[in-house]
Amino acid sequence: MTNTIRILVRSTFVLLAIASLLPNLVAQQRGANDIKVMAWNIWHGGREDGEVVGPQRVIDVIRDSGADLVAMQETYGSGELISKGLGFHFQPRGTNVSIHSRFKILEDISVHKAFECVGALVELPNKAKLAFYSIWLPYSAEIWEAGTRDTSKPETMLAACKASHVSLQAIHDGIKQRLSGAKYDNVAVVIAGDFNSMSHLDYGEVGWDQYDAVVDWPTSHVLIDQGFVDSYRACNPRIDRTVDSTWTPRFPKQEQDRIDFIFCRNSRSQRTAVEAIASHVLRSHAKQFPSDHAATLSTLRISKQSPKVARQPQTVRVVSYNIKHGQGMDGNVDLKRIANVLKKLQPDFVGLQEVDLRVGRSAKTNQVNDLAAMLSMHPGFGSFMNYQGGRYGMAILSRYPLRNVQSLRLPNGNEPRVALIAEAQLPNGASVLLVNVHFDWVGNDKYRFAQATKLANHLRGQTKPFILLGDFNDGPDSRTLALFDEVALRTQKPKADRMTFSSTKPEREIDFIFCSPAKAWKVGRVEVITEPLASDHRPVVAELTLQPR
């Protein structure tokens, strides 16, 4: 063997050794508890732009993203080549779904049909274990090509995605059974892939102006209702159809929707916690993006914690504020002024009354979405009625991810009314209901009391802790308030400073905050904020501590 050959051989071994260490070195540079997870349907094996160039572009996108784990769909024979190009571990199942991992794969934990689901138990650099699933869900009918969707008939849209709901429910049930053993008590779970359905978090009323429909998609409920967090929406509270969409960068004339998701959940024991700290959509390549799906990339912080953390009390700052569609006492509509008032209060939850969405008098803006962006909070909206080309109602803003937002229709008064009910997930894993009200305003309380009665009856059936807040348009000694004293604990303002209306000459106390059940909450500081300009009401703030169950 010549010296030249010896040098080449040694160099090859050195390069191979470096390549084997590179995946862990990249992960270590990011931080021991942080990993990047990608969900990506690569479209016919990524070969639409060529048998060689297409998969190479897939490799480029994944490598440049820094992804550690990839849940891939439509792998179709390209998986081994892609994983080898990345220096990753590869776990296929069938022809469609596959997993590509920078980290060691300990066990195959697949469930359901081979074409729709593959699972791997992965060991992370911090020695935590993660159950990682790549899934592909079927759909029942085409509603993305031009002319195939009728937004005036949500029932037809729901029918088109029925198959995805059925399959995801079966997959979740299978995962729950597969991971039921004690050896998986401390294992966090990530389920990612092509869901072929949209999310109820996007298609709530707050997104009506972008999607031209309000649809309560059951597919996205399957995991969220079981405590999973939609990592992208957790990091991107503001609804933005253009930025959010994963279908489809290659066909811009088709309906643009977010149909690729990464869901995460703490371990059963709560000893392993998962937090989504960043997430965005990838849809570009220097030459041409190789797939008809964009990729979703989320950075997850997966850390070990004491189970006591999950049982710690959770203190939240709650604000109720009638903002009069942002019209201040100077007659100007200024939403930034409202945002500045709220920023100073540093709230975790806000109930807003008199909110506009695309209404003429407020320059046809989406006030809920805009405030959410200004405050980095999650938005929910419920409309009373159509008004000046848009919708008029009220909103909930939450520092923490929302699981669901629903409107409870109340008896009509001088105007239609709803109670807006949102479920938020707290950092300790507990959930709380936020109930926002704006009752009828006339002196005779007939309508107001009818509205309050329906809501009180609804709340009597609640098993989850809730916070009730809003503009009750009735005084502290009224029968309306007495009705809610029967189902919740009223927070008491300082006697010397309890008036909330009007903001310039406060003479009436009509804005309140309640919490229930009484034994679950500890009430701290409650105050009315002196703010005479931004609205005709003054905001009310309460510090509430939810005790562990």
Confidence bin at 12 (pLDDT 50/70/90): very low
pLDDT over threshold 50, residue 13: no
What confidence tens digit (pLDDT) does each residue in 123-172 have?
999 999 999 999 999 999 999 999 999 999 999 999 999 999 999 999 99
Produce one character per residue of 483-503: b if its CB has 16 or more CB atoms within 10 Å, e if not.
bbeebbbbbebeeeebbbbeb
203, 174 contact by CB (below 8 A): no
Residue 133 contacts by C-beta under 8 Å, 6 or more apart in sequence?
A: 71, 109, 117, 118, 119, 120, 171, 175, 189, 190, 191, 192, 193
Q: Are 538 and 531 in contact (CB under 8 A)?
A: yes
pLDDT value, residue 28: 42
Q: pLDDT, tens digit, for every residue of 334-345?
A: 999 999 999 999
Q: What are the start-end ranges of the E strands in 456-519? A: 466-471, 489-490, 511-516
What single DSSP character describes residue 256? P
Report the C-alpha gap between 190 and 436 in whole angstroms: 33
pLDDT in tens, 82-99: 999 999 999 999 999 999
> Which tokens sit at 546?
């939810």
Q: What is the pLDDT of residue 312?
A: 86
Among candidate residues 157, 188, 355, the one with its CA nearest the CA of residue 259: 157
Average pLDDT over residues 51-58: 97
246-277 pLDDT per residue, tens: 999 999 999 999 999 999 999 999 999 999 99
Q: Which residues of 217-233 are buried (b: 16+ CB within 10 A; e: fewer)?
A: bbbbbbbbeeebbbbbb
Does the pLDDT of residue 542 top 90, yes or no? yes
CB 114 within 8 A of CB 93: yes
Mean pLDDT of 240-245: 97
What distance in Å separates the CA atoms of residue 507 and residue 488, rounded to the nearest whole number? 25
Domains of the chain: 34-304 (3.60.10.10), 314-546 (3.60.10.10)
> Half-sphere exposure (CA, 13 Å, Cβ side) for 274?
32
Q: What is the pLDDT of residues 489-521, one digit of tens each?
A: 999 999 999 999 999 999 999 999 999 999 999
